[in-house]
Amino acid sequence: MTFGQQLLDAAADRGRLCVGIDPHASLLKAWGLSDDVAGLAEFSQRCVEAFADTAALVKPQVAFYERFGSAGFKVLEDTLAQLREAGCLTVADAKRGDIGSTMAGYAQAWLGDDSPLRADAVTVSPYLGVGALAPVFELAEATGRGVFVLAATSNPEAVVLQNHLAQDGRSISQQVVDECAALNAGHEGAGNIGVVVGATLSSAPDLSALNGPVLMPGVGAQGGSAADVDRIASGVEQLAFPNISRAVLSAGPVVADLREATLVAAREFPGRSL
């Protein structure tokens, strides 16, 4: 089964919500936790308890673990393993991107069967060329795991680059989406290759031919709404998975409150299997 179909099946039961685990220093402090590995581990454990059976997809932000070095990565390994054991799909928000054997190394790190960092999907950057990401695409196809390719992010620094038009009139972001769509073309249902498209964008690439999941950050505290998700993913709304982090995490530190915030947010984005 493809990652895309696994995600649709999870959404049919839980809604299309992706919740982030973002243990940045200010949030650790707000939760009354220390800004160290012990605080990181406690934060992550509470998130696992709250999200493992309530969210369709959980997205640990790798940078907030990496800042603690090897001890932080150990907490991330444990967090991913606990979510996996609970039957919850995960995406490691690592945003890796390179060429050749280096990209193959990243692919094995985040999607390889024997890797302690294995997640169900990983985010990658295409700005060395979508084709340079071939090793992670190939491993995703071989394992039924997923890849989310940054296509149209909502940060203002990226808009000019992503909207630059080629001679055929397509923006760079549209070219990224189209190349991902070609990779999914062999699958009857939703494929393994998804894209990241910001929910706060006033204009976005056409997603109608992607045939893969769309991760949509920016919903909630950043101003994106359910209406924005439907607008950007018009016609393929069931493939759009809004990512809400701050608006849910602000309900912490009590696990029951985090669970309730997740369930309330998920109701805005009902899912169904395709």
Q: What is the pLDDT of residue 274?
A: 47
Distance CA 238, CA 28 (A): 34
Homologous superfamily (CATH) for 3-266: Aldolase class I (3.20.20.70)
Q: What is the pLDDT of residue 155?
A: 86
**Beta-bridge mates of residue 21:** 60
- What Cα–Cα distance (Å) separates residue 65 from each residue in 17, 25, 88, 103, 141? 22, 11, 20, 21, 27
Q: Are strands 121-124 and 57-60 parallel, antiparallel or unpaired?
A: unpaired
pLDDT in tens, 55-80: 999 999 999 999 999 999 999 999 99
The token duo for 257 is 């409150």
Q: Residue ranges of the domains in the chain?
A: 3-266
pLDDT in tens, 98-132: 999 999 999 999 999 999 999 999 999 999 999 99
pLDDT at 4 over 90: yes
- The catalytic residue positions are 95
pLDDT at 244 over 90: yes
Cβ(22)–Cβ(245) under 8 Å? yes
Q: pLDDT category, 40, cuts 50, 70, 90? A: very high
Cβ(152)–Cβ(204) under 8 Å? yes
**Beta-bridge mates of residue 61:** 93
Average pLDDT in the 212-224 region? 87
Percentage with pLDDT > 90 across the chain: 88
pLDDT at 249 over 80: yes
Whether the link from the prior residue into 253 is cis, omega within 30° of 0, is yes
Q: What is the pLDDT of residue 206?
A: 96
Distance CA 200, CA 218 (A): 6
Distance CA 47, CA 21 (A): 7
pLDDT in tens, 124-157: 999 999 999 999 999 999 999 999 999 999 888 8
